[in-house]
Structure 1
């Protein structure tokens, strides 16, 4: 029987493994090495590397990756990025690793640390799209001309007046002529898009407090890492990147959305919640397209200044350092 959808192929690929196999390392060695240490010893004796042994197993599914990847991404390049990430994933279950990688491929994102990451949580491999991955899918929608994501430091010049017409409502001039230390800590993250039509989206701005509230309320991965004492979630290890990603994710409320981007948001949320990341085929899912169309309508409405009801942040101009005043903290949700 032919498998018509990627979801069917993933299910078939991940259920054909022997029930006794618990980890990728064990599967890669056909159960000859029952511990990571033994696998290392075996791989070294054969003149190879543990990641090469695991990659040899994944090569069995090359055709599945080729079907999942869009035509502009070479399968060899994708697997090369996977090879670099494998040493940290060999204790994951083979089913979760294969599904997370096929999900990553389905969205046309390379797990290179910039576009996406495959992260280990216990014995489960989880697909995590990064900020650049979201940007990539926004461009693919054909409705977005450019995406801007940035971080404002304490010594930077910036102005945000949401009642002013775009693009006068927001400017950011980084203090690039001073040292990183003198630029001070990051105080705001922002994101906005210029549409293909020439219109500009609403600017999304998040304070550190906003980012912490998002983390505490929505990130199950952060809470699991806190409760276990591991403190190894991305909110622990890369707070600023997650801060910027949160600003970018909030753009989905004010920019045109594609069904594929809706699916990416859902996969990201499922992974963070510790749930199975179902591989969607957005073109076949009418409800995803309906959500995208609804988001597009919201984006069009957001261009009307009357629809903006955010509290303005104060204007800040450069001053001699000894007389510079700190800006009041503001929020744009």
Structure 2
């Protein structure tokens, strides 16, 4: 019986219990469309699937809640390609880092209601790609989906706005990507998305640049079709992304909010 009691006590003091304890605080900062119970289950599921992530969360629950607060505030799903949770070590101390993924940025663009579609695609060496600004409204990209496409050479992104116009087209080469990667905190660590899912990070870099030119929102904005004139114009401020440098900073978006009573005593959110 003592072993069972110890197991229950250990479970109740684990990261899942911390998430449960702070659900009310998550609900206070979460975007209105977030269902906090579902959000919490996703977070716990991510911990269960990754032992090193769970260990980092156990060691530093404050960093876990900092990341989850950011995900909730942006209305993104934790532990998915919308919002990565990854274990890192900072000065030898394990902690959880939250990173907005490319699907998360695309979600923020759709939330604003100004774009009817968002296109973010990588270009590989054997693809046929042509885009001349001023001549082409959008890139012409032909792909042999069943052949050898070759190595990554570029990425592009654009949005088709509700009225049919095309936003600014973002086109990035490997050189641009490498510059962004060089400024990313922990890009060479074992669990960095730059190593585990390089293509997704290329897509994220382009999507983030696109976020400079189209509206983004953590809240899902809804309005009657006849009121499209009230949608933010292309190139207006992007409220969901302006907390981080959209040009080059491809590192994490750190949490900014601390719940009443502070974080668990074992750790504080990263500074």
| Cα gap change, 1:43 to 1:204, in 2 (>3 Å) | farther
**Residue pairs, 1:109-188, within 5 angstroms:** 109-122=76-89, 123-167=94-138, 170-176=139-145, 178-179=146-147, 182-188=148-154
TM-score by length of 1: 0.59
Q: Which of these residues, 73, 82, 91, is aligned with residue 56 of structure 2? A: 91
1:262 aligns with 2:241: yes
CA offset at residue 133 of structure 1? 0.4
Looking at structure 1, the residues matched to 169 and 246 of structure 2 have their Cα atoms a distance apart, in angstroms, of 25
Q: 1:278 aligns with which of 253, 256, 260?
A: 256
**Structure 2 unaligned residues grouped into runs of 5+:** 218-237, 259-271
Query: Structure 1 163/42 Cα, relative in aligned 2: closer, same or farther at 3 Å?
Result: farther
Q: Which runs of 5+ in 1 are unaligned?
A: 1-40, 281-333
| Cα RMSD after superposing both structures | 3.2
Alpha-carbon shift at residue 239 of structure 1 (Å):
2.0
| Higher RCO (C-alpha 8 Å, min separation 6) | 2
Match of 1:219 among 179, 184, 191: 184
1:239 match:
198
Shift of 1:202: 2.1
In 1: Cα distance, 2:250 partner to 2:11 partner: 26
1:114/1:152 CA distance change after superposition, 3 Å: same
Look up the SS of the partner of 2:77 in the other structure: coil
Contact 1:191 1:205 in 2 (8 A): yes
Taking the aligned partners of 2:162 and 2:33, their CA distance within structure 1 comes to: 22
The Cα shift of 1:266 comes to 5.4
TM-score normalized with structure 2 length: 0.72
Consecutive aligned runs of 4 or more in structure 1 exceeding 4 Å deviation: 41-45, 47-52, 266-271
Q: Higher Cα Rg: structure 1 or 2?
A: 1
Please identify which structure carries the higher helix content: 1
Q: Is the 8 A contact 1:97 1:126 kept in 2?
A: yes
Give the drift of 1:127.
Answer: 1.5
Corresponding residue of 2:31: 70
Work out the number of aligned pairs and report it.
227
Distance 1:173 1:110, change over 3 A: same
